[in-house]
Amino acid sequence: MGKGRISTLDKERRPPLKDGKSGEDEPSALQKLLDRVIRNGEIQTVFQPIVSLRDGSVLGYEALSRGPAGTPLQNPDALFGVAAECGRLWDLERLCRKKALESAYRGGAGPHLFLNVSPDVIRDKKFRNGFTKEYLKKYQVGSDKVSFEITEKNAAGNLENFKNIISHYRNQDYKIAIDDAGAGYSGLTMITDLHPQYIKLNMSLVRGIDRDGYKKALVKSLNDFCRIAHTALIAEGIETERELQTLIDIGVHYGQGFFLQVPDRRMKPPGGRVLEAIRKRNMQNNNLYFHYLSGIYIGNLCRSSATVPPNATAEQVYNIFLKDDAVSGVTVVSDGRVAGAVARHRIDHLMSGQFGFSLHARRPIASIMDTRPLVTDFEVPIDLVSKMAMSRPPAKLYDFIIVTRDSRYYGIVTIKDLLEKTMEIEVSDARHRNPLSGLPGNLIIERTLTKCIESSDPFTVLYIDIDNFKAYNDVYGFEHGDSVIRFVAKLLNDIFSAKGIFIGHLGGDDFLAVLPGYGAAGACDELLRAFDAGIRCFYSEEDLKKGYITARNRRGEEEQFPVMTVSVAGVSNRTRKYENIYQLSERASVVKKKCKQVWNSCYEIE
């Protein structure tokens, strides 16, 4: 909660309690300032989103605490450092938690919250006795919506006791996140002993990762570990698009940092530019399949709707609803910016009953409006907005969505309109996938290849063909042949999609994979080994003993066909520039002929 999750340029050194010039006066001044902060509750909470690097949705928000602006204790490092030296750490952390929960859940149920908790505090019996499910009830939030962030460098010492304490909270449905992982302290031992739900990478590993091969290798290893351990990896301190792209390429689950969104008193999701960057990179890597509707922005679904200023009365707003049954909500706008929203069901509830109208009619709408409606930028894709809308609390699921452009009110989108368009997207997506393999079909493949050709980025395209498949299909039947196709599709998913590589089904026994860069040999070796090991289970023992099956060839003559193998022909833009996908396909055909001259599973990459 108190971490300075800010750019390194924003870090300040903690002021010393003793200053050579001021003698013993300085400690007294800082202590008095700290006492004032705790006594008067002068803590400001800001929130920074933790964002999915797959689709841009928000996992939750980290609550960050700031001291009084313009004072030596504004910086959290200074604030908590002084509190620790003055023996007031417990009091300060309790205040920060209270402020964070009040800010996050004052409007009712809110998103998942990440709270920084010192290991010294979490060990304290006062914390265990005070931070209970009953304590959270007054904020109308369940323990499953709270994650404790624990910095590994402070968690050393009596690890067994600390594990028992963590188990106590896990049993109450709290989540555990190990913070600053990789900072060089207790390291993986802490992670393997505590089994956290989240691991947050130290920002020193993220900063400049696009230019540092060692950092890439280390983060990739941690990401592989997290995948095996069923733990989500969160990369902190993302400050450039290049860093974001590299983390997406590695497959990191979530990200946090100034590039995604700055800390703010309001819980702000990432903007349209960031979402587009995430979408674009994932489309290139096949984490999201391309379809022609994916470029439709939420702003294209907008409709105009009534707006009122914050000083409008509840009666005035109520009359808007009474005059027009089609109005689903009213947006409260101040100087062109969204201040809040009023849904029909909300004001109907307030004005109903024997005294509802007389109690609320003259109140300013600002006092009863929803201060945290779903507000999104014009250029956010509609499928992402759909996920954001469906992740809201049950009471708000069907509330309208407010759209802004250049941070100013633009219009609204109803849930009905959003669901209709989302269904249209899903139907379109299904239409462009191969029904047998579930992989993208020719239209999506063509668009993916076109994007590669038009881009200056290095790429390698692998054309994957099953040898002797027709003979197998003729002898064993279409049902068994379909099982082989599904087997290969699963192999490709396991080997390539897990690495963020686009795969598609050209039809029949022909598949395709598009890799960024030129390092395809390792993936090809893995594919050949897995195919040769798995394909044998599709044959009878008798045919395996013979090593072949007998079927008619294309000329109608009986011929012996060996057990199926796989051929992979690879072409890239390393030495050739392609003008269109037809040139690419022609070149692949030449390479494929070389593969067909080998009777075993093989690959040939230009």
CA separation, residue 309 to residues 48, 357, 413 (Å)? 28, 20, 20
Q: Nearest to residue 247, comparing CAs of 51, 458, 510, 25? A: 51
Task: Tell me the C-alpha distance between 289 and 94, whole Å.
Answer: 46
- 549 domain-assigned: yes
Q: Which helix (H) or strand (E) holds 74?
A: none
Q: Check whether residue 572 and residue 498 sit in a common domain.
A: yes
At residue 578's C-alpha, the angle toward residues 576 and 579, to 5°, is: 150
Task: Tell me the C-alpha distance between 191 and 237, whole Å.
Answer: 20
- 26 domain-assigned: no
Q: Write down which residue in 234, 257, 289 finishes a domain.
A: 289
Task: Tell me the C-alpha distance between 493 and 500, whole Å.
Answer: 10
Q: Check whether residue 440 and residue 583 sit in a common domain.
A: yes
* Residues of the chain where predicted confidence (pLDDT) is lower than 70: 1-28, 107-109, 128-134, 152-159, 161, 182-190, 228, 283-295, 428, 498-500
Q: What b/e readout covers 249-263, taking b as 16+ CB neighbours within 10 angstroms?
A: bbbbbbbbbbbbbeb
> What pLDDT, on the 0 to 100 scale, is given for residue 289?
40
pLDDT, tens digit, for every residue of 355-405? 889 999 999 999 999 998 999 988 888 877 888 888 888 888 899 999 998
Q: Check whether residue 380 and residue 508 sit in a common domain.
A: no
> What pLDDT, on the 0 to 100 scale, is given for residue 22?
43
Task: Tell me the C-alpha distance between 515 and 501, whole Å.
Answer: 5
Q: Check whether residue 249 and residue 318 sit in a common domain.
A: no
Q: Check whether residue 414 and residue 501 sit in a common domain.
A: no
> What pLDDT, on the 0 to 100 scale, is given for residue 20?
45
> What pLDDT, on the 0 to 100 scale, is given for residue 10?
36
Domain that holds residue 585: 434-605
Q: Check whether residue 260 and residue 377 sit in a common domain.
A: no
Report the CATH number at residue 157: 3.20.20.450
Q: Which class for 242: exposed (0-12), middle (13-18), buried (19 or more C-beta within 10 A)?
A: middle
> What pLDDT, on the 0 to 100 scale, is given for residue 153?
55
Report the CATH number at residue 313: 3.10.580.10
- 83 domain-assigned: no
What 3-state DSSP class applies to 507? Answer: strand
Q: Name the packing angle between helices 478-495 and 521-534 (round to 10°).
A: 150
Please state the separation of Cα 410 from the chain's center in Å: 27
Q: Write down which residue in 289, 309, 336 finishes a domain.
A: 289
Contact 513, 492 (CB under 8 A): yes
